[in-house]
Amino acid sequence: LSDNSMDNVLNVIDKVNPELIVIDSIQTFTLEEFDSRAGSPVQSVECANALVDIAKNKDRPRAVIMVGHMTKANEIAGLRTLEHLVDTVIYLEGESGEELRTLIATKNRFGRTGEIGLFSMEEKGMIPIDDPSEFFMTRRDGGEIVPGSALSVIKEGSRLIVVEIESLVSHSFTPYPGRIGECLRKDQLSTLISILEQRGNINLYDKNVVIKTTGGLRLSEQSVNLAIIMSIASSVYNRGIPNDTVFIADVGLTGELKRVPALEGRIRELSRMGFKKVYIPRDGLRSNAKPDGIEVYGFRTLQEVIDSVFGLP
């Protein structure tokens, strides 16, 4: 049904009696009894209320999916009352030009929040990504090692996903070098660059720094910070990091490595996937918790990791 009148929609629902109703989008509908434009707080809330009443009808319960607009701040357009009316709030996110689409529940009265669904946007629509780590890594022939690439592992809901972070460092011919990293907050990238300069003894004041992830995944965990810094250092030195090596640690302003949650589980997953080396904070893992098949290197500072990986004196 192509109609912006919620009154007409309700009449059709009453006649057809469907089990599933999809409204796209809730901010474009109006009810005649309210004298305000589509998208206004009153119209959006009252249209949503009418649909909630239908969904909660004891004699004929139905599933209702309401699609909503997002603001530039990644919030549902209009009053937050809409979020309180419904049982579940699910965000569908994706960057322009990227295949990756993510579904994440921020509210769920019937289950857990924080779980994430990963999909690839293709010609036939959104296709589930069955092996996320394969999607977010570059498989290179013959184990080729390239500068500017580093691996880490993140926790999305109950999933552990290995991600590849790529960096490119180049000379800047302007007074203000570029800092480009769509996969993370700009202030986070600037902070990590400052740490690398001061605690890793690498000058970047006249360098452009570009960061991205394979597959376009956004990075919000602090556990990837060491990998981000190491990918930048790898690009600066023009020396590759072995593809079987992973970095799991936050890095403080002092240059010290910080522990991250669920570290043991992350390392077990890496061992299962065949990775051979992992760099973590020195106090991050009990000696009796180290899994077989993977070498665990514990260091206290960023400089120690740089010296170890790149063989600096």
**Residue boundaries of the structural domains of the chain:** 1-86, 94-130, 135-310
**Distance (Å, rounded) from C-alpha 236 to C-alpha 244?**
21
Residue 290's pLDDT is 72
Buried b / exposed e across 45-76, counting CB within 10 Å, b at 16+? bbbbebbeebbeeeeeeeebebebeeeeeeeb
Beta bridge partners, 67, equal 24
**Distance (Å, rounded) from C-alpha 122 to C-alpha 257?**
40
- The tokens describing 217, both together, are 């995944």
pLDDT tens-digit series, residues 54-106: 999 878 889 999 998 777 666 665 567 888 899 999 988 887 777 888 888 88
pLDDT tens-digit series, residues 247-301: 999 999 999 999 999 898 899 889 988 899 999 999 887 665 677 889 999 999 9
- The tokens describing 96, both together, are 């322009």
Mean pLDDT of 220-249: 96
Give the right CATH number for 135-310 from 3.90.420.10, 3.40.50.360, 3.30.230.10, 3.40.50.620.
Answer: 3.30.230.10
**Distance (Å, rounded) from C-alpha 278 to C-alpha 153?**
10
Total residues belonging to the chain: 313
- 304 versus 103: the higher-pLDDT residue is 304
Mean pLDDT, rounded, of the chain = 89
Q: What is the pTM of this model?
A: 0.76
Q: How confident is the model at residue 186 (pLDDT cuts 50, 70, 90)?
A: confident
Residue 61's pLDDT is 86
Residue 9's pLDDT is 95
3-state secondary structure of 149: strand
